[in-house]
Structure 1
Amino acid sequence: MKTDPERFILENTSVLSPPHVPEIRLHLASEVHDLWLKTEEDLEEIGLPPPFWAFAWAGGQGLARYILDHPETVEGKRVLDFASGSGLVAIAAAKAGAVEVLAADIDPWARTAVRLNAALNDADLAFTDDDLIGRSVDFDVVLAGDVFYDSDFARALVEWFVNLAESGCLVLVGDPGRSYRPTAHLDPLATYEVPVTRALEDSEVKKTTVWKFRQ
């Protein structure tokens, strides 16, 4: 690695508010391709996935919007934000009054991105890079934005989320119509028209639904 993650993030992003969640500020990238290439060069590894931590994805924006508009969902509760990316949803949960928030992501730079973004918003939250899929977790609420983009990943998540819901955990996901969304297991709570980056999506607005996993 040629530079440290904090320096890279500060030099290659701008402090912006996601359009659907203007209450929150994040270190976000404006140029997808350039940042992707810079990340590969810095990590000296070709073929990396997109730097998810650098963008406010539609599912995350919708889920964060729902949490801020319905603070009773997390207020006074222990919350896990799975596949946290930038930390947007975790920050929303902290601002909405969660008593404990853990952001989880295995991306090697997500820890730094979440820390920097939490500081921007005076949000008190913790971070883990452990792979939690399939584990029993001690949280009241599990949140996940935009996670059903890969068939194998989605299959593992569905089994885990269903088990968590059956154990009494509230599992909410934000999804803009990804191919592997398990609709048969979900009840809709709210739908939003979320502005997105055309370079990442195939449009400038994505219809995004917040779903609750059935017990």
Structure 2
Amino acid sequence: MSNQAAGAASERRGDPDPAEFIKANMRLLPVPSLPEIRLHMAHPGSGLRRLLEPDDGTRERAVAPPYWAYAWAGGAVLARYIFDRPSTVVGRRVLDLGAGSGLVGIAAAKAGAGGVIAAEIDRNGVVALGLNAAANGVAIAIVGEDITAGPPPAVDLVLAGDVFYGRAVARRVVPFLDRCLAAGIEVLVGDPGRAWLPRQRLRLLAEYQVPDVGGNGGGAPKPSGVFAFVPASAG
């Protein structure tokens, strides 16, 4: 969904226009430990709740937590890894799975990827991702739907940052990543060690100290890893 389409849909519902709200209320700032990238990030005065709930304060509309409004640890370490080792993405077609703010996809595009697809299901996240890509001067193809139930797209590399935050999502993601491996697609995972991380399927490649849920400066730095996702027989 384009920013223009999202804005038109919001206008019909009487909601704030996501693009205008994000530009007016969120701060475009460099990501801690990643000065190469700037993101529109939430802060205590951003009033983000107004974008997530109806004006009357009811909860008639189910809204996902605004993962896209922060730089999470798994995405931050994947982005740092890409900048430290650009050969990981140079000339390759890349999927940023569960893209959120677009941090990982933006890093891949800046480092020379041959093309970047970002998959994000949150409608506000889709808008923020487009704004963030434009702010960083990169082109990213955005898919605003859950792609984990289907076959992998035509890419060479999947980058999966912070996708193991819950049991239900992990149960969808692992089979999708297995289909990626079966199709000959390399998979890298970034995560600070959350409960549903499939540790037996991961091989540590690098570790960094970064804040979690801390793209806006909050959260103490903690060790977070970049892993290769490997076949079950090799785990």
TM over 0.5: yes
Structure 1 gaps, min length 5: none
Selected match of 1:188 from 201, 204, 211: 204
Structure 2 gaps, min length 5: 1-13
Q: Which residue of 1 aligns with 2:77?
A: 62
The CA deviation at 1:156 is 1.4
Amino acid at match of 1:27: H
2:165 corresponds to 1:149 = yes
Relative distance call for 1:32 and 1:172 in structure 2 (3 A) is farther
1:1-215 equivalence runs, <5 A: 1-31=14-44, 34-36=47-49, 38-41=51-54, 46=59, 48-136=63-151, 137-197=153-213, 203-215=219-231
Q: CA RMSD in A?
A: 2.3
The CA deviation at 1:36 is 3.4
Deviations 1:97-143 (A, max 9, x none): 11110111010112211111111111111101121103222110011
Q: Which consecutive segments of 4 or more residues in structure 1 shift more than 3 A? A: 41-45, 196-200
The CA deviation at 1:34 is 4.2
SS in 1 for 2:63: coil
> Given that residues 177 and 208 in structure 1 are in contact (C-alpha distance below 8 angstroms), is that contact kept between their aligned partners in structure 2?
yes
Amino acid at match of 1:5: P
Deviations 1:64-105 (A, max 9, x none): 111111111111011110111111101000001111101110
* 26-35 or 46-55, which deviates more: 26-35
Instruction: State the TM-score, normalized to the length of structure 1.
Output: 0.91
Relative distance call for 1:133 and 1:198 in structure 2 (3 A) is closer
Tell me the number of residue pairs that the alignment of Structure 1 and Structure 2 aligns. 214
CA distance in structure 2 between the aligned counterparts of 1:197 and 1:156, rounded to whole angstroms: 23
CA distance in structure 2 between the aligned counterparts of 1:21 and 1:50, rounded to whole angstroms: 24
- Percent identity between the two aligned chains: 45
